[in-house]
Amino acid sequence: MGINELRFDWAFLQWAVMAVVGVYTWLIGRQSASQKELLELRTRITTVEAQIKSVPTQSQITELIAKLSRTEAKMHGMQEQIAATYRRTENIEAYLLQKK
């Protein structure tokens, strides 16, 4: 194999360059898709973090339940007082109607 047997083939060189460009384009395309997916995931994570910040904690829920129980007890007491006041008002009304 001498120097005369080696020849410069433009068609092969063109094919090799196109193959390298094709592989490079494919790699860049994959990386671009990965970057796009990564950006989408970051956006979703940011959205989820913002939503989680507005969710009450377990201690806040426990405190809310305790306040609700106290409010319910107070309302029950007020209902009993209103019922007693209503009965007294009826008694006063009956007394005044009988006295006439």
Of 55, 77, 92, the position where a domain reaches its end is 55
Q: What percent of the chain has a predicted confidence (pLDDT) above 90?
A: 46
Query: Across residues 75-100, what is the average pLDDT?
Result: 94
Q: What is the pLDDT of residue 8?
A: 63
> What is the end-to-end Cα distance of the chain in Å, rounded?
141
Mean per-residue pLDDT of the chain: 87
Q: What CA–CA distance (Å, rounded) separates 75 from 72?
A: 5
72 and 96 belong to one structural domain: yes
pLDDT band at 5 (very low <50, low <70, confident <90, very high): low
pLDDT above 70 (res 7): no
Residues 60 and 37 in one domain: no
Token couple for 63: 């405190």
Cβ neighbors of 56 (< 8 A, separation 6 or more) are: 64
| pTM attached to this predicted model | 0.47
Structural domain includes residue 81: yes
**Number of structural domains found in the chain:** 2
Q: CA-to-CA distance for 31 and 35, rounded, in angstroms?
A: 6
The pLDDT of residue 43 is 92
Question: Residue 85 is encoded by which pair of tokens?
Answer: 């006041």
Q: Is residue 3, in this structure, part of any structural domain at all?
A: no
Domain of residue 89 covers 56-100
User: Do 65 and 32 belong together in one domain?
Assistant: no
C-alpha triplet 40, 46, 47: angle, nearest 5°:
90
